[in-house]
């Protein structure tokens, strides 16, 4: 990145923080903060602020490219980890979707993950809506915070178990379906004696937790059209046609909690499909949940890799990060492409593709984004004698 580009970016970051006030996290004096550069997301940590005013004065003066804060509360947040004296921590989930460039489609997918996660937290764990805070991460996904006194003292292992449950780790539908005793016997088929298993009972419409999700997935499969069934992985035409033909019978069985015929015919398909109801938290992101010393992006501050805001989300369904989280809004800026750039979405429309060496006038948000990605520069000003 050339000097002119660094000067331009620092100026834009300072302008933002001078013109906007960032709300402090709860109990700010108990939080540890870390700040980053263009090269390192957390270059320095063990910082602390006593008040929101002090935090905002720092942002106006330093305009860091990244600023994060601890999920944890400490007696002495400025000290080394051994001396901080841990008092508790919020429960935080980090959801993101790998993407080379900003993609509306991929961000919609990870928004659905966030929606599923909120469902788990409210329905399965009983957290109140007011305790759950959803923030756009500023780049590729969402951070979901649970903030109340009950979760503060949870151990790392307890947090890991919550993440395992939500992500569907080791969920097997046979854990939720049991064989009714006393119904085993013998039958004759094609002239041969064959042992039969008993009837299987499983989740019903009024089930809860993963049982309800298994019921919902199965009901959705049984009521799908032939074309929708054929579009699912692992379901061929013969199976799809049988599901459609036996729909009424299978729905009666399902509503009555009878799973014997369903398990014999569609058990593997159902097993695959229930993972669509899980929240896909990869190993690296899961560590944010059970690492109580982890720092997370401070809401309403700029993400130094995208120029978008790590923004608080009031209504997830209506939120569009590529419009609502834009920090830099202006008439435009000319950039020099330092690399080929594919198509990306921002401000509700497509940008690109562009070729290396091309000079393009872009909206401020798109220009800053490409500069921070290392794909564009502020063109050097030629000076004559």
Identify the active-site residue in 164, 216, 246, 285: 285
User: Which value, to the nearest 10 degrees, does the dihedral of the CA atoms of residues 147, 149, 151, 154 take?
Assistant: 140
Q: Which two tokens mark 109? A: 């997918």
Identify the active-site residue in 94, 260, 300, 364: 94
**Cα 191 → chain centroid:** 56
Distance (Å, whole) CA 80 – CA 86: 11
**Separation of first and last alpha carbons in the chain:** 26
In the residue annotation, 285 being an active-site residue is answered as yes
Among 171, 162, 170, CA closest to 217? 171
**Taking the CB of residue 20, how many other CB atoms lie within 10 A of it?**
15
Among 107, 148, 106, 133, CA closest to 296? 133
Identify the active-site residue in 90, 96, 260, 300: 96
Distance (Å, whole) CA 92 – CA 163: 10
**Taking the CB of residue 81, how many other CB atoms lie within 10 A of it?**
11
Calculate ∠ Cα 53-54-56, nearest 5°.
65
In the residue annotation, 94 being an active-site residue is answered as yes
Residue listed under structure tokens 């500069």: 371
Q: Which two tokens mark 6? A: 């660094």
Q: Which residues are catalytic?
A: 94, 96, 285
């Amino acid at each position: 990145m050339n000097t002119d580009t660094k000067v331009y970016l620092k100026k834009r970051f300072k302008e933002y923080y001078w013109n906007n006030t960032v709300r402090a996290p709860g109990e700010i004096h108990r939080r540890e903060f870390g700040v980053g550069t263009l090269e390192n997301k957390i270059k320095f940590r063990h910082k602390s602020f006593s008040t929101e005013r002090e935090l905002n004065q720092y942002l106006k003066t330093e305009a860091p490219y990244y600023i994060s804060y601890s999920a944890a509360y400490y007696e002495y947040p400025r000290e080394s980890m051994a001396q901080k004296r841990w008092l508790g921590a919020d429960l935080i989930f980090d959801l993101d979707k790998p993407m080379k460039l900003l993609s509306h489609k991929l961000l919609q997918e990870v928004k659905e993950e966030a929606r599923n996660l909120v469902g788990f937290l409210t329905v399965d764990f009983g957290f109140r809506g007011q305790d759950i805070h959803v923030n756009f991460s500023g780049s590729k996904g969402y951070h979901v915070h649970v903030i109340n006194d009950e979760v503060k003292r949870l151990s790392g292992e307890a947090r890991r178990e919550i993440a395992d449950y939500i992500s569907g780790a080791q969920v097997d539908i046979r854990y939720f379906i049991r064989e009714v005793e006393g119904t085993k016997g013998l039958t004759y088929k094609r002239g041969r004696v064959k042992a039969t298993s008993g009837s299987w009972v499983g989740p019903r419409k009024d089930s809860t937790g993963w049982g309800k999700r298994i019921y919902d997935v199965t009901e959705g499969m049984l009521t799908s059209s032939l074309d929708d069934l054929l579009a699912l992985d692992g379901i061929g035409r013969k199976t799809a046609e049988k599901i459609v033909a036996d729909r009424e019978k299978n729905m009666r069985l399902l509503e009555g909690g009878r799973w014997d015929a369903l398990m014999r015919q569609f058990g593997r398909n159902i097993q695959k499909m229930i993972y669509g109801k899980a929240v896909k938290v990869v190993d690296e992101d899961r560590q944010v949940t059970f690492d109580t010393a982890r720092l997370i992006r401070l809401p309403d501050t700029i993400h130094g890799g995208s120029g978008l805001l790590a923004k608080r989300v009031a209504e997830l369904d209506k939120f569009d990060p590529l419009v609502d989280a834009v920090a830099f809004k202006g008439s435009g800026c000319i950039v020099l492409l330092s690399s080929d750039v594919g198509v990306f979405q921002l401000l509700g429309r497509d940008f690109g593709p562009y070729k290396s060496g091309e000079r393009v006038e872009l909206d401020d948000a798109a220009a800053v984004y490409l500069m921070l990605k290392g794909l564009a520069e502020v063109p050097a000003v030629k000076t004559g004698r």
